[in-house]
Each structure stands twice: as structure tokens, then as C-alpha cells.
Structure 1
Amino acid sequence: MASKPEYIRSRIVKTYDLDEIEKLIKDAKVAHCMLTDPPPVVDEESVMTRLSALTLRGSDGISCSCCGVGPFTSRAQQTAHYKHHWHTHNLKRKLFGRKPISLGEYNSRQDESSNVSASDSEGDDNPNKPATELFAAATRHCKAFYTNPKGQVFCIYRCLLHHRKEEMSLDGEGHVWARRVKELLSPGYGRWAVVMVSGGHFAGCIFTGGSDVIHKTLHSYTTRRGQGMSQATRDQTGNAPKSAGSSLRRYNQEQFLAHVQNILVSWNDDLKGCSLVFYRAVGPINQAAIFGKPSPLRKEDPRVRQLPFPTRKPTFKEVKRVFQTLASIEVYDTLQDFQKALLTVTGSKVPLKTNSDISIAESAKKAQKPPPKVQHDRAKSRERVPRELPTQVTSSEDEGPCYIDSETPPDWIKTLSEQSSNGVITNSRKDLLNDCALASCVDTDSETETVDKKETKKRKKPTKKVEKVDDKNQVTAVKKGPVKIPASVKKMWRSISDKDNVTLEPILEGWEGDIQAACNTQDPIDGNTALHKAAIAAKPEMVTQILSAGGDPCIKNHVLQTPYAATPHTDTRIAFRMFQAQNPDKYNYSKSQIPGPVTAEQLEQQKEKKAQQKKAKRQREKEKQADKLKANAFLLLTDEQKKKVPVHEQRCFSCGAQLPKVPFEYDDCKFCQVPCLHDHRKIRPLNMSV
């Protein structure tokens, strides 16, 4: 396979780092790949000389003076020669003042393109003239390239140096470009504005010295979801819909334009102080939001320049990314790194030096053919791809054939044999890896021999047997016995389950052995550790003692519950959280499902807050009950009696509720709402008749 082009990393310097910029652009000149030769002085004599050289030689007029071939035997042969790429290539070479090449040389170079203006071999003869591919890549690029006396090459976006409509000459020495890049150090040049509008989204910001001074974002519903077209654009097609959604989008579009223009008008003084204003607004509707009549921005302003690269949805985060991209200057330490990076980005190939290298590369390309594409039938099941099996290793100390890979720790075969001799057999390779990682592995003198790899590998189910290979290669079956739990651990579990015991201090103080391993030993029945059992039994003091002794709160039982998740008791859960607050670095609490640490002061504050809330709730209930009694007493009065009640004590004549500041009235009767007034008006004749 052909090797991928090497990616050259560059150093980034920001335009607002004035100290770095001053060192970088000191005595800087335009890179040679951006310059062309100065145009020659065109006079009548030189033109006539070239025209006479291009005329046909010979009296019969059927030979080519440019390529040196002829005479042609027929008109068709002459026409075919003039249409050939070889003749066109020689014409361009002669216009550049170079000698024509033969057909054999042309075919060997495989230069069939009609746009080629010079050969690679002659391009190498003149080191002062840039390569054609480099010049084309540099002139097409959206950045300008400079060199300094240190040999560094740096590139900067052209939009920072000149407006798109401003013509910058590439002939001669490029003094104009060198003068423009020095403006980066001028005072006030680092104040830029970035404005973006698209799809009902607006984002704008003004930056000074790398920091944002003013910013604003705005969004309005102007585009129908899933259609990818704004309502204004849809209306321009000639068939404007009349739905409620379309009317809403039209209204939002008008308000959006007005809001954006108002924002820009409010920024008028700040925009006047900006040296550059960058914008992204695709289409006439979005551009009308930025360059509309009230807006202070105009396209003719030389400071207003379009962003030279694609952007995402206008947001404040995207505006900051655009600013950082514009302010980034790529610096290459050597010219070779710059050429490789430029040709890699533009997709061109690095120019080769000699014709021998060209012929070798072309022969390699011809010899190497792309692999044929495999047509897959999606209706049929795919065949299994043969994969490489792990290496099978046997040893005199091994307890059977095992498979190793890069994750297997060294000397694990001896660890397995020691576990087998002690009566502890494990079927889990994960447990074996954990044991080998914790225990110190002893160097062994046993030699391992690699065996031929098997063609197929069957998926093994966990078995209760382990094949034991002795020195005579006799195979015997060893049954896996039950896991032995030490008596001291069982005693701890019984103490935790006992309802009368509240503390484990007597057991933990007189413990002999590894107390941490004992606390983390799992019950083979349900997988609970001592911490699980204490949490389920709702014994907070025991939970704190076990955590202090080394009980891991991240271990899960057979139902995948941590000790904190296994307990439903509030006090026990608080014990876990208080221990986390006192020992924040002892365990990896992110896997223990503990929500977070809590201190005694925080618990006291929470208790006080809940007490105050309960007190306030009781007070509200009392006030509500008293108000209800007053409302019932008020409703028992007749309308004439209600009118005689003082104004500040009057209530709704219909429901007895409190009256608003401006009640609803008719015939001096007051009500809290219109339905109460209607109900009272309906039943009033009946009351009056009674």
C-alpha cells in the first residue's frame, strides 16, 4: 500500500500576543512561493521575434517548426499533430523561452495535461523560482505566507491583511505584503468584531486583546423543522402557504430582522472603534439583517470582511471559536516542513527531485493494483472470518492447557498451580489476573514450549473440573470444593446479624490477620460482604467501623447492589455520607453509588430548615382554618347585613373568599370573580321572594 502523507504539525501564535508577533514578523518577507517573476518589458521587436519563431518552416508548409517534425504526408496527419497534447505542451514551453522536448521524453513524463507550463527537471535547475505546484497551492490558499531571517515560515489569513476586492500584486519582492503584516503591531488593531446570522440564529461579539468585551445571541423560530428552508425563502417560490405556522414564522422573521438591527445600532460606538469586522450571512435575507438600513455596517466598508472558512450554527461558543481561528498564525520551523504541509492540505503531491525517482514511483504505481471490491450478498448470512487463536502453552507446573495474551501477567502459571495445590480452584480468568496483580510473583525456572495453533476454538462453558497434568502426562479430574470461609469471618458475620450487638470494637481490636481482606470477603450465598450485612441490618456504627477497617463500599453482591444501595435506612445512608466527608480520598466513591459527602453541620442545618418548614405549614393551616370560619360566618348573613359590614372585613357575597383590590360589583354587592357574580344574580330573586 502507498504510504500516507506525513502530517506536519505547526506551532500556533496568536495575533494578540504582541511580544511573540514582534519577534516573528521582524524583517519578515513574503514567501517565495507566492511571488512570480516580474513581467518582462514588452516591445514590438520581441513580439515579432517570437511570432517569426512560431511560423511554419519549409516551402510546402506541412512541417511543424515548434516540435521539429515533418513534413506531414496528409492534411489529417497535420491536424492530428496540432491537436496532440505534446504540440500544445511545446508551444507553452516556447512561449516561456524554453526548448521543445521530444515525444519520447513527453511520454516518459506522462505529462498529458494541457495546463502544464514547465517540467520538474528544469524547475529544479532554478532554485530561486518556486515550483509550479507550490505556487498554485499558495495562490489558491486563503492564507498568506511569510518567511523571517530565522528560516521560519508562518501563514496568516489574507482577510486580516486586505479586503477581498483589493488587488494585491504578487510580482517583484512583495513589499506591500510585508508592510501589511506589520500593521498587526499597530495600536488598536487587535479590536475585532465577529457577526454571524443563519436560520433565525444571531450571534455577535466584539473582542479586544483576545477577550470578549460585548456579546449577544438571539434566536427566533423562522425555519420549519425538518424542511431546511426559511419561511421567507419558501414564500419567494411563488406558492406561499397560509397556515398558522407560516404566519407565525413570517412575523418572527420580521421581528428577528428588527432585533438584530437594533442590536447593531446599539453597538454603533463600539463598532466604530473596531479595526476589522468579520461576518457570515449567506443569502439576501440574512445579509439584510446585518446590512439593512438602520444597521451601521455597510458592505462597502473596507473593514467589513467575510469569513474565509465554513462555520457552524451561530452561537456564542462558535463565535469565540471563529475568533481564535482567525487570530491563529501557523509557524513552521523549516521551509521543507512548510512545503510538505501545504501540498498535503491542498491534495497535491510533493515535487520529486530527479527523473529516476519519478520512474521508480511510476513503476511502483503500475505494479501495485487496487484490491478488487468484494460484493456482499446482504440476503445471505456472512461467513465467519478466520481469526488467529491465542498461543497454547504447557509447563511442568501448569495445571492444564491455558491460553495467554498481552494482558496475562508474568508467572501466572505458578500462581495457578499454587492455588490448585491449596485446594482453591478458580474458573474465572479475571479473578486470576486480580490475584496475580496483588500478589508478588516469584521468578520460576520452568520453560514454556509453544504448541501449534488450533484451527478452530470452541467456546468453553464454566466447568467444575480442572484437568491436572502430572509428569507422566496422566489426566485426573479434580472437583472444585466449596469456598472455605475462615471461622473469624463467620464470627464477625454472626455479630453483625445479632440484634443485641451494636458495635464491632471487641472483634476488630483482637483481630489476627488481614482485617481488610476479612471485611471484603463475600458470602458465597448472596455475595454480601460484612459492609453489606451491616448496612442491611441498619447499624450505622458498625458501618463506620467496617469502613475504617478497610471495607470497600464499591463491592457489589450477586444482585449488583453496593452496600449503600442495599440499605433502605436513612441513618445508615447518612453514616456512609459522613464517612465520605471525613475520608474523601480513601475509596473510589464514584462507583459506590453514594450521592455525596455530608457533614454534621449540614445535617443540623437541614433539620432546622425542615423544622421551620413544618412550623410555617402549621401556621398556614391555622390561618386557613380561621379564614374559613370567617367566610362561613359572613355567608350566613343576608345581603343587607353584608353591605353593612366594614369595608376591610367584607368578602365575596357568593363564596366568602377574600376580595381583590378592585372587586366586581352590581347593586352594591361585591364579588371576587365574574362567575360568583353570575351565580348570585341567578339565585337572588329566590332569596328576595323568601
Structure 2
Amino acid sequence: MECMNVFGQSFHNVIGESVCSVLLEGGDKDESSAQIDDWSSENENLSCSYCRIKFSDIQSQREHYKLDWHRYNLKQSLVSKPPITEEEFGEKTGNDDLSSISGSDTEKEDTLDTYATAQGKIFLQNKLGQVFSMYRCLLFDRKEEISDEDILARLTQCCVGNQQWTVLMLGGGHFAGAVFQGSEPILHKTFHCYTVRAGQGGSQSSRDSKSGGPQPKSAGASLRRYNEQSLVQHVKAIVDTWRSEIDKSSLIIYRASGPYNRSVLFGGSVPLLERSDKRLRTIPFSTRRATFAEVKRVQTVLATVEVYKNLQEATQYFSKQKSPEADSKRNKIRSACINRAKSRETVERPLPGVLSGASSAESGLERVGKPDEPLELHLTFSNEEIDVNESLQEFGDSLTPEQRKKMPKKKQPRKSKTKKLKEKEEAKRKDLAETLFRGDLGKLRKLLENHLKTSEEGETAKENGKHSFVNEVLDESGNALLHIAALNEHEAIVKFLLDNDADPCLKNRNQQTAYSCTQSREIREALKQFARDNPDKYNYNKAQIPTNALTAEETAEKRKTQRKVKKEKEKEKKKENLVKRKEDEEKDRFLHLSDREKRALAAERRILSQSGTVTARCFLCASDISGKVPFEYSGNRFCTIECLKAHRIKNPVVLS
């Protein structure tokens, strides 16, 4: 096998002008299928279009559909092969030529035909007997009929006369396109727009058509809508720019997966490409993401032609290739379930090569022959009767009750004094913690009295014993008696412990005192009251108890004073707001005056500041117009419009 490029001179020499026939061609319906359709249309219902026979009644037709001959012809039609007669089928089955009634024999022609159909290729043969295969889409569209006379003309047109191809790929927001002159790209462009929803796939337009909502539901949806419009504009601009070179191309090869991508190329009032264009071809094999490297790969694969010396060499080559069925079986996922109906494969394991003498003697096996010779085993048998009930007897107790009493009893391990004291202390702490949890003040007094009785005599010893009892840590969190009483909100016990030298400054492992570990208002008030009554007994800052807290009467007096101060502040604020409001009104009134009125008002205020009084009078009737807005013309001021008219009539203006 030899690979050539369709644009190379060597390929042109092989083709020459001697193409005479089409051997095999994949992707179209052949003449046998057409003959079956014509035959079935001309006959009546009581017939089989696959086996081409007629029946006298419906029963014989039903019986025919159960025959292996019919099944074989049915499979033959699926791979576009002509049917065989019943005699030929009998000869095949009699000579054992059929491996199965499937219509897919393992003949060389079948392998070549299967490969041509699966790969979308066409096999041609010239007059010299050389066979070459190339992709069918380079010569004609899949809907066109095949004729040997047009093969040479198509090859000359697409590969010799005009070697310019256009390849366009669009999918997933990626666009890649190029115009090739031979094997060299003369124009190329790639870009990407975010139009596919990450992790879920599908364009935003298809998502909108399913949801039915006109408005985007997120910022990403709005961005994808904008990018889809931008993608259409970019592709249109590129195709319009390349229009002259695309028109010169002999083939336009494209890939646009999905309705949205096809609408970019063929949709709209003025589509970029016309579907009726005879140069349009789809890529006949799987492709990856649309990139410039992938576009070049597509052009290289389509332009590659495989040349064989003769038909026999091509058949031998493709007979070694895996069939599509084998590829599909290879791609199947192995299931974790075990099919119990199938028999398991038997695994032949080798026998042990050498047996030791001791083991063979014990097992009754004897080795015959030399060590280097193959092993032969002889079995020796002995007839001996074995009483299986000999060693069995009724279960019984061999000891009498008297003997069992005399048996020494197992001694329990003695506990040490330290362990006993420790267990006693733990039980005492547990009992004390339960007493505090229940709030049993009477039992707490008894426990304290019992502890003082067991302590040493003397006042100092009793004080130390009392101090150690009320300040003992009872749990793993480091809480003392006062902490547990405060957490359980037992006010009487808290007061009792404080009166018996319980230290409020003790902290647990969370660095909390009895005051800070509780949220009870009564407990905190009791601790505050103890701090007021005993100001010098403890460091209450360390105990986190506020010592400057006021009594109820002092607190009420303080609140009363605060309310009084607040009312006075509100009165002052009202006065300030009133003054500010009057000032704003004066400002608004002054702003609504004309410039002449503002000057007059300023003059009046100057006179008032000098003499103390100002009287403004009408120029005609001498009425007092102080504080009023006068009527003016030419610097004259009047109290009413009637005075102004009378003054105008009395003193007319003469124009020079």
C-alpha cells in the first residue's frame, strides 16, 4: 500500500486518463436494492420482495418468513447485496459454506465492501489494474448517482484544475476556517466565544427555547446570549471577507454540529452558504474541537489517497483490518454482573512435578521409575474397619458437689489503698455535683458539716477545711461549687457558698468566673450585692463583678435626671430649628426679589442703621410703602398700578 496526496504529481501520473470502473463505493444504495424496490412495487401483497417469490395463500407466506433462506436474504439486503435462490442457499448450507445465517460471510469482498461503507470511501481501478481508495465526498455528493464517465471529470475539476478548497468548522462556541491552495493555507482564522453552559452543555438559545422565559435568569445567561450574537457577527464578517476566495474554491467542506451551528451558516434572510451549492461537503469522519490544527488535519486526511498494486493486495490488506462489529464489541463496557447462565472457562493447571518420599509414603502413594523420568503414581488400599462410636461417650461431670466445695476459690485482685481513696473521692465529688444540680441546700449543709467533723481540731484547721470544701473543682471543665450553682441558677446555694468563704475569683478552664459563666439576672445581682456588702474581702475586678453598680434607688434617680436633661436639650433644639426656619424663609423671599428690589432693600437697611427709621412713600400720592414691594419704572416707585399709570400720563416719555 502507498499513500499519496491528491494534489501531488505522482497521483496524477497514477490516475492519468485511464480510470475505467468503480469497484466498491460506500454510503449509497446500490442497484440490487433498487431492483428489490422495483420488484416489490410491481407484485401483489402475497410475495416476498427479498427472496423474489410469490405465494398462493397467506399461510404459505407466513411459513416462508420462518425459513433460514428468508433470514439470509434479509441480512443480505441490509448490506446492499443481491438475494440468492433457494437452490443456491441449499448448496451453501450443504457444502457448509455458511458460518451463520446472518448474511455477513467472512469473504474478502465482504470485508472490502464493509470497509468502504463504514469509512465513506470509494475504490477505483485504472486500466493498469492499480486500485486506489479516496473519500467519496471529494467526487460527488452522497445524493448523486454514480457513473464511471464522470469520475475522471470530477477528479480533474477538484484535484487538478482547481486545487483550492475551503474548510469551515463550527461547534461549541469555537470557529476555525481556512482556505487551502493545494496543501498550503492561504487564509485562516480561529476564535472562541463563551456560548456553552459549563458542565451541562448545550447552547443558551436551546436552553431558552426549553424554559420559555424571554428574560435571562442569571448573569452567565445574559453573557452567553450576547456571545451568541457576537459569534454570528464574527462568522459573517469572516465569510464576507473571504467571499472572493470561497467563490473560487472547488469544494467547501464544513462541519456544523447541531441546529444552532447550522443556522449560523445556513440561517437568516441572507444565508452565508446556500444549501443548494453543489460544492458543499460534510466531513465524513469524526473531528475534535475546531482549531487551526484540526482544520489542517481534516484537509490532510481528505487529500490522502491509498494506492494498491492490484485488487488482490487491497483485499488482503483490508481482510487484516478489524471489522466495525469487532470495534463495537471492543468499545463495550464490561459489566460488573456475572452471567450465571454461561459456563465458566476451565483453566488447566499443571500437576505437581515431584512428590517427596515422606509425603508419598504417608499418603499411600509410591513413585515408580527414576527421578528424571515422568512421574507414575500407584495407589495402595487397605481394608480396615473403623468404629466411629468408639471415642464417643456421654457427657458427664467428674466432680461431686463435696469436691467442688473443697476446691479453692479464685481470689479477686485486691485494690490498693490509693485506688480505694481515689474511688471514694470520685464518689464524693459525684454526690456533691448532683446535690448542686438539684439545688438541695439541706443536703449541702449536711455534707459541709460532715466534712468539718472529719477535719482536724482547731479553728485554723476548720477554716482551711471549709475553704477546701467550698472551692473544690468538681468536673473536667474546671468548675467549682460556685460555678455549678450559678450555671443551674440556684440563688440560695450561691448565697450560702459566698457566706462560707466560696471564692468568686476562681476561674474554670474557659477563664470564666461565677459571674461571667451565668446569664441569670438574679445570680448576678446576688454577686453584686455580696461585693457591696464585703468591698474589701476579694478583688472583684479579678472576679469580673462590676463594683460601681448602683442601687435600685440610685438607678431610678439617675434615670430621672437623664430624662430631664434630655427634655431641655429637645427644647433648645426646637428653638434652633425655629430660628433656622425663619432664616431660610428670609433667604427664599430675598432670592425672589429682583436686582433693583435687592438694592433698594440694602439702601433702606443702611439708612435704618444710621438714623433708625426709614419711610418709603409713593411718588404720586406720597403713601407709605415701607415693607411693601413697590411698582417701579425708570427709578420711580409707586404704591399701586393706578398711581403708576397716572404718573405716566402726566409725564410722558419723549423719544428724541
TM superposition score normalised by structure 2: 0.41
Larger CA Rg, structure 1 vs 2:
2
TM superposition score normalised by structure 1: 0.39
Higher helix share: 2
